Amino acid sequence: MLMRESVKARDHKKNIGSNGSKSIAALFHDPRYWAINGQLEIRNIRILRHRTSVRLEPVMWSALDEIASRENCSIDDICASVQQRKNPQGSFTAALRSFIVAYYRYCQLQQK
C-alpha cells in the first residue's frame, strides 16, 4: 500500500504530460483504460480458414474491436493481415499488439 501511494505521488510530481496536460496521469489512474491486474481474455479467431485462440488483455480486444469498426472490417481480417506480415519466427500476439500501437500512432500523426 505504501509503495502504491509513493508511485502515485511520484507520477504527479513528475508532471506527466509536459505540455501541461494531465491526460497521461489520468490514464495511469483510470482502470477503464487499461488492465493492470494481468488478466487475459481468450477469443477464438480465424486466420485464413484456420481457427485459433488468442490471449490478449481486455484493453487490446477493445482496441481491436474499435479498429475493425473504424476500418469496416472484421477482427479476423485484421489478424490475417498481421499474420501475413509478421516475422515468421515472431510471436503472433506480440505482432498484434505492435499493430494496435502502430495503428493509433499513425492515426495520431495524421491528425497533426
- The end-to-end CA distance of the chain, in Å, is 41
Q: Is the domain of 49 the same as that of 25?
A: no
Residues 14 and 44 in one domain: no
Q: Return the closest-CA partner of residue 95 out of 104, 105, 78, 82.
A: 82
pTM, rounded to two decimals: 0.71
The 10s digit of each residue's pLDDT in 45-73 is 999 899 999 999 988 999 999 999 999 99
Say yes or no: 91 and 38 in one domain.
Answer: yes
Average confidence (pLDDT) over 16-30: 63
Residues spanned by the domain of 3: 1-30
Q: 26 and 65: one domain?
A: no
Do both 59 and 95 map to the same domain? yes
Q: Same domain, yes or no, for 49 and 23?
A: no
> Phi and psi of 56, rounded to 5°?
-140, 160
Distances from the Cα of 25 to the Cαs of 17, 77, 93, 105, in angstroms? 7, 34, 27, 19
pLDDT-derived band at 26 (thresholds 50, 70, 90) equals confident
Q: What is the tens place of the pLDDT at every residue in 71-91?
A: 999 999 999 999 999 999 999
42 and 85 fall within a common domain? yes
The pLDDT assigned to 12 comes to 45
